[in-house]
Every structure is written in structure tokens, then in C-alpha cells.
Structure 1
Amino acid sequence: MKKTFLHLLLLSGCVCLLASCIEDKAEDAAHRLVVSKADVELIQTGTLNTGSKASLDVLANRGYVITSDAEWLGVDKPVGKGRVSVTLEAKPNETAGERTGHLTVTSGKLTEKVTVTQTLDPDPDDGNPVGYVYYLEDFDWIAVYGGADCVGVGSQDGAKNIYSTGDALQKFGQAGLEDYNPVGRTMYACAGYFKMGATDKQTGIILPALKIGRKKASNVELTFEACPNIGGSGKVDAVTVTVEIVEGPGTVNGNSDRKSEGIKPDQAWKWTPMSVKLYGVTAATRIVIRSTQQGDPGVTAGEKGLFRWYLDNVKIVKAPRN
């Protein structure tokens, strides 16, 4: 009984000690302060060149305070705690030149400074209304090369490789399209759409440059339909689709990323509608729709395996600015 009682006493003490440690840790945790950006550039209107207000992500486990050294610059959440998205509030720059302000983020003894530069650059928006169509491609012209309706009949048989089918490759180029991984030679014509990829090889389609005015930009929404392939095993290929800006200005889905996360078209022999927003694109921007598994040709090798898929009905329209 003594041994049991002793063990219980020791166990109880450990539990209490553990609980005390956890409690102390919660109360006395060291300050942590992380600010997502050190520099921000705004245009004359006080926004980013996409028309959206600039923001910062602040992580401060013990709380934060943000102060500004410029009367024209502030934030919507000057005080907060935890992980907070803070929006910058800047007045239009009506001075004769570029100006600079600083935001100081303080948490206990920790301090981070953000430099905000506001130029006299005008709003680059091209002025087109929301919904304006920049690009519309249903790929119906590729049907003349006799490719099968693979998605419709539920079989990959009958897709025609454009590299060995008449002048299909030439017509592909004349449409302003480029094969993202031409070395793989795995672009196939179907009955009004494309099949991409083969065993251990993947690719995508680089879209034509958009007709946007000189020194102008736009926020756009890219929509398309994708379908995964199913081979002889009867198993759906585990492909995901990525939208990436491979040349020129622009970001994806409202942040600093140049490419989207992989989107999964997981319906067997059915088209999956997909949508991605891109911000600040110009006439110099080139967009690719590709298999995520492809990686960057010439930089990283694509994944080994079966990641074949179909693409149809690509459309790019003007999106709201915010």
C-alpha cells in the first residue's frame, strides 16, 4: 500500500508540475512578432497598382501596436493580438513628388518597421468594365484533325498528337498558343479540345498575350474546364492543375504568388469548371495552364507517373478591382 500511495503521490506531483509548466508557458511565453512585409509601394491614389488597398500580416502572440510617422499614412487595425491582417490607409499623393512614410509595429520590446513609398504614378487600370472579355477560346478549330471525343466516350484512344498530325502544330502556334513543355511532345488534339501528358511526361498551354493598352493593367478572372484522364487500369489520374504567370507583371489570387495551388479535376470523364483570379496583368503577361506535376521545364523535372488531362473553354474577363 505504501508503494502504491507513494507512486500516486509522485504521479500527482508530476501532473501538478506539468499543469503548472503549461500554465506558466501560456502566461510567460516569449514575445513573438512577425510582419509579412518590410517595404510597400503605393501609387498616387494610395492603393497598389492593382487598385486594391495594401495589407500586412502581423503575428504578435502578446499583442501589437502600430504607429505612423506620416499624417497621410495609417492602418485600419492599429492595435491587435494574434495573427491579424492589417489594411493600409493612405491618402492620395497631391504633393509634387514621391513621399515616404514608416509604420512601426511594436510588441513588448520587439519592433518591426515597414517603409511605405507613395509615388506619383497614376492608376494603370485600362478602364474596361467588369466582365469585359479579353480572351475566349473553345478550341473547336482543332477538331478538323480528327481527334476523338475522349471525354465524351470515356476513352483516351483516338487523341491525335499535334506534333505528328498534318499542320496541327502550325495551327496551334497561329492561335497564339505555346506548349509549356515542347520537349515532351505530349500535346494531343481531341474533338474540339486538348489532351495533355503521357506516362512520366506532363505539360500545359501558354496562352496568348492579352490586348491591354500600353502602360495599362487589369485584374482578370481566368475560367476553364478540365478533366482527368483514365487509362487501362480504370483509375483516375491523380493530376492537379496550376495556373501560373510565366512572363511579365501580375500576381495570382490577390497575393504575391505567381502561381496558384493545384486544383483537382476529380470527376471521372466529366468536365470540372475552374476559376483563378489574376491581378495587375499587362500586355506583357503570359499565363500558363499546366499540370502541377510538370514543375518548371529546365529547372525541375516533372513527377514520374500518370498525370494526363484535358482542357477546354478558356475565358479571361475583367474582374472587380477589390
Structure 2
Amino acid sequence: MLLIAGLSFGACSDDEKTDAYLEASTDLINLDYQGLWEGSNENASFELGANVSWKVTSVNEWITLNHMEGKRGRTTIFITAEENLTGEDREGLIIIEGNGLYQFIDIYQTLKSEELTVRPTSITVTKSGKLESGEQASIDIETNSNWEITECDSWIKPDKMTGKTGYTAVNLDVEQNKTGNVRTGKFIVVSGSKKTEVTLTQNLEGLKVNPRTIEVNIEGEIEGEDAVKFDIDAAESWTIDNSATSWITPSVTNGDAGNTIITLSISKNGTGAVRTGSLKVITTSGLEDEVIVTQTLRTPATILYYEPFDWCTNDINKPGSADIQDPVGTNGKQGTTFNLFDKKYTGAKEAFEAAGLTCSNSETSIYIALGYLKFGKTKVQTGITLPAITSLQTATDAVMTFDVSTCCTGSLVPDKTKITVEITGEGSLSRNEIVKKIDNIDTSDGYKWNERTVNLYGINANTRITIRSTQQGMTDAGADQFRWFVDNIKIIQPSN
């Protein structure tokens, strides 16, 4: 009986023998360009279950597995893939064989899509090189490739010029702006094929002097200015160092934050040569700026003649008459004037003659406006002749300037007036030849003052200068009346 039972058990075991199997947990794995599981930051893997020995018979060269063969049981196989720099997506295949059984796992890896983010790309710093908050300027770089900074202006100094994948903060050391002008620099962040330009503007906030260069004549003056000045605009207290320039004395040598006007007292230049001095402005935090003063040997210009027509006031008006007005200044809205030669007006002609002025012809169409003269009317055109400059005992070159404007019709159409300047006696209106008259000098578009300049050569005490309308004896009305205004006649002997 025991023998029979044993035979029966052995037969049952052979009939129930297990089939061979080889099975992977997936047949498709997607990787990102770095070779990691897509959507995560981990290496991809799969499980292989088998009751037979197995081995990897085929795998792409850019794929590495931690197990290439194994025995029965369950095995976790990790995949390491190279970064995909091919410029396109790629496919791979893993083939595993065991006892005639096969498993095929497809691998899909996306191409590397380069990413570069730089923040900020536009930065403004103050004269000191810091942000307005007083902090150091910086940028943040975030990229999926190594990066470098190129084409960087020399006054911008990043604390890192290269870096690796990921996030990096780069501090910018910006030199103090001593140029006297706002300046803009740049650099480029390069990561793979990506480029981002960063611009940095450095203003003069914190300390600014204006002007930074000053030129004065031998007397220490600027012609046409009442004083030699410069401005300091500072965000903090400051001092002026003029220890190297004893011939320049500032009105103050220190001050607080804000805007301060400095007046300079400059000694006469008795050295016989042009000289240059400097004033350094230094703030409490060490910001510096400099004013350069150049003193030439040029003598000041001399005013030989000036007629401002300040006698043209209502004080010489006829008692009880309407006040004279300012046609140019009111665009013709207030146009009351009176005739200079009308005997009803007390002192008008006398004031005209006291100024040494005469009518350029026999016509009497000269009118008093408020602070200047008006000329011309229908059929009548004229001008004025200036007095002789008796102080000119020798031939002298000079420059004459005067303000001129035209009158308009009631519909504001400007008269077509042109101006003539002519001289009698010695002198010329040209350096190289004798020219006694210049015609058709433009006036303006009507009720607008324009300054005109005429060069005078070789004039002396016998020279007489006339300013009149080019048109004379015209008879048309309307815009052809050729009326005009004159003010501020000045003759200057230029500096030399």
C-alpha cells in the first residue's frame, strides 16, 4: 500500500509542472532631455518578474541599466540615459531574453528645449553704483544649461561670469559714475543657443554738479553773466576741496543735501598764460565730482552802444490820452501807439533826440510803443539812424544786434517787411571788401521778436549806422504796408 501511494504522489507532481515566464512591468518609458522620468526628477525604472534566468540582449548605447542579467525572482531595473543634445526627440529599445521568452521596452526621450530666464533685464543705479534703495544691484539667472556672461562693459563687474544649470544670483559691482553724464552699459547672458541682454543705466543721482567745465576771461568773468556759478545737487552733505587752486574762492565750502548754488570769486589772471584749476565736491559717503575752471587771457567784450528804448513809456504821453500799449507782446490785441512827431505829446520827440536818434529820411511815420518803436504806415516807410560813437578814435571791428518784429493786418497776416542796415562814413559790413548796405534781412512771422546780428568792420567816431525797412515809398495797403518794430539795439566790441 505504501508503494502504491508513493507512485501516485510522484505522478501528480509531474502533471502540475509550472510554465516559464518573463514579464516587465511596462513596455513604454518616457524620459525628459536629462534622462529622467518625464514629469519628475528621478531616474526611470521598471520591474522584471521571471522564473527563469534572463539577460539583456540589446540596448542603445545612450542607455545604461543597473542590471544586465539576472535569475528568477523580481528585479528592479533602473535606467540611466544621457542628456539628449541631438536636437530632436529620439527612441530606444531594451530587449530582454530568458529561456526563449522576450520582453521589449520602448524608450522615448524628448530633445533638450533650452530655457533661460534672466531677471531683471533693465536696471537703473545711482552715481554711486548702488540702487536707489542703497542696495547692490543684482540679477537672477535660471537655466537648464551652463551659462556665461559676455560683452560686459568694463565699469560693470559681475561677481560670477559663468555658472551651471539651475538658479544663480549674480551681484553687480558698478563703478562710481565720474563722467558727468548719464551712461548706459550692457552685458549678455548666454546659455546654449539662448541669449538675453541686460542693460544698466547709471544716472547722476546722489551727486551732480552743473556745469562741470567753466571758462572765464582774464578778469575772471563770463561775458553776459552777472556771476560765475555752478550748482551742486546732492543726496547728502558735501564739502568742496579747492586746496590746489588758490585763485578760485567758492562762496561756501560745505553744505547739506539738496540743491545749492555756488558763486565763484576768481582773481585776475596775471600769469601771462591760460591757467586751469579744479574744485572737488565730495559727499560724506565718498562720492566725488569735479568742476574744472579754465581762465583765458581774453579781455572782456566792451559795450560801445546800447539803446533799450526804456524812455518809451506813458510818461511822455499826452495827458488824458489812452495809454500806449505793447502790440508785439499781446499778439496785436493791444495795439495803441502814438506818433513820435505829434506835437500834442509832451517830450516824445525830445526824448528821441536826446537818445541821439534821427529819422532815416524825411518821413515821420515813427510811433512810440510801450518800450520800443514802431515804423511805417500805408504809403510811408522809414527807419532810424543811430548816433555816432564818439569814443571810437580808431577803426574798430564790432557786432551789432537788434530785436525786430513785423506788424500784422487785422486778420493777423504779417506785413512782408524786410530790413536794411547801411552805414555812412568809415567802415564796412564786410571784412574783405567795402560793403555799405545789406538788404532784405528777415524780420519774423509777425508779433514775434527775433534777434538779428550784423558784423561791423573798421567803424569809428565818424561812422553812422541806419536801420530801416528795405521797402521804401511803397503805396499798397494791407500786408504791403511794411510796418515793423525795433528794440534793444546794441553794438559790442568782442573780447579778444
Rounded to whole Å, the distance in 1 between the matches of 2:428 and 2:337 is 34
**Aligned residue for 2:413?**
235
Q: 1:222 aligns with which of 393, 396, 400?
A: 400
- Post-superposition shift, 1:233? 3.9
Rounded to whole Å, the distance in 1 between the matches of 2:455 and 2:380 is 27
**Aligned residue for 2:375?**
196
Gap change, CA 1:231 and 1:277, over 3 Å in 2: same
Rounded to whole Å, the distance in 2 between the matches of 1:206 and 1:234 is 29
Structure 2 stretches of 5 or more lacking a match?
1-297, 318-322
- Post-superposition shift, 1:201? 1.1
- Post-superposition shift, 1:303? 6.4
Secondary structure at the aligned position of 1:170 is classed as helix
- Post-superposition shift, 1:268? 2.5
Contact 2:415–2:446 (8 Å) recurs in 1:
no
Secondary structure at the aligned position of 1:220 is classed as strand
Rounded to whole Å, the distance in 2 between the matches of 1:217 and 1:130 is 18
Question: RCO (CA 8 Å, sep 6+): is it higher in 1 or 2?
Answer: 1
Structure 1 stretches of 5 or more lacking a match?
1-127, 295-300
Gap change, CA 1:275 and 1:171, over 3 Å in 2: same
Rounded to whole Å, the distance in 1 between the matches of 2:324 and 2:466 is 23
Contact 1:186–1:197 (8 Å) recurs in 2:
yes
Alignment of 1:263 onto 2:441? yes
Letter in 1 for 2:420: T
More helix by share: 1
- Post-superposition shift, 1:213? 4.0
**Aligned residue for 1:160?**
338
Rounded to whole Å, the distance in 1 between the matches of 2:442 and 2:458 is 26
Rounded to whole Å, the distance in 2 between the matches of 1:260 and 1:303 is 23
Rounded to whole Å, the distance in 1 between the matches of 2:380 and 2:331 is 21
Alignment of 1:307 onto 2:477? no
Contact 1:293–1:303 (8 Å) recurs in 2:
no
- Post-superposition shift, 1:319? 3.6
Letter in 1 for 2:305: Y
- Post-superposition shift, 1:320? 6.8
Letter in 1 for 2:443: P
Percentage of pairs with the same residue: 36
Contact 1:253–1:260 (8 Å) recurs in 2:
no
Letter in 1 for 2:461: A
**Aligned residue for 1:317?**
492
Contact 1:161–1:187 (8 Å) recurs in 2:
yes
Secondary structure at the aligned position of 2:417 is classed as coil
**Aligned residue for 2:291?**
none
Q: Spell out structure 1 runs of 4+ moving beyond 4 A.
A: 301-304
Letter in 2 for 1:219: D
Rounded to whole Å, the distance in 1 between the matches of 2:438 and 2:467 is 10
Tell me the alpha carbon deviations over residues 274-299 of structure 1, each in whole angstroms, 9 at most, x when there is no partner.
000010101010001111112xxxxx
**Aligned residue for 2:327?**
150
User: TM-score under structure 1 normalisation?
Assistant: 0.54
**Aligned residue for 2:290?**
none
Contact 1:244–1:259 (8 Å) recurs in 2:
yes
Gap change, CA 1:259 and 1:320, over 3 Å in 2: farther
Rounded to whole Å, the distance in 2 between the matches of 1:259 and 1:173 is 24
Rounded to whole Å, the distance in 2 between the matches of 1:207 and 1:303 is 27
- Post-superposition shift, 1:154? 1.9
Alignment of 1:282 onto 2:460? yes
Alignment of 1:252 onto 2:391? no
Letter in 2 for 1:176: G
Tell me the alpha carbon deviations over residues 188-211 of structure 1, each in whole angstroms, 9 at most, x when there is no partner.
001110000001211111111113
Rounded to whole Å, the distance in 2 between the matches of 1:267 and 1:131 is 32
Gap change, CA 1:129 and 1:261, over 3 Å in 2: farther
User: TM-score under structure 2 normalisation?
Assistant: 0.36
Equivalent pairs, count: 185
Tell me the alpha carbon deviations over residues 241-283 of structure 1, each in whole angstroms, 9 at most, x when there is no partner.
11110x3101013232101132111232110110000101010
RMSD over aligned Cα, in angstroms? 2.0
Gap change, CA 1:308 and 1:243, over 3 Å in 2: same
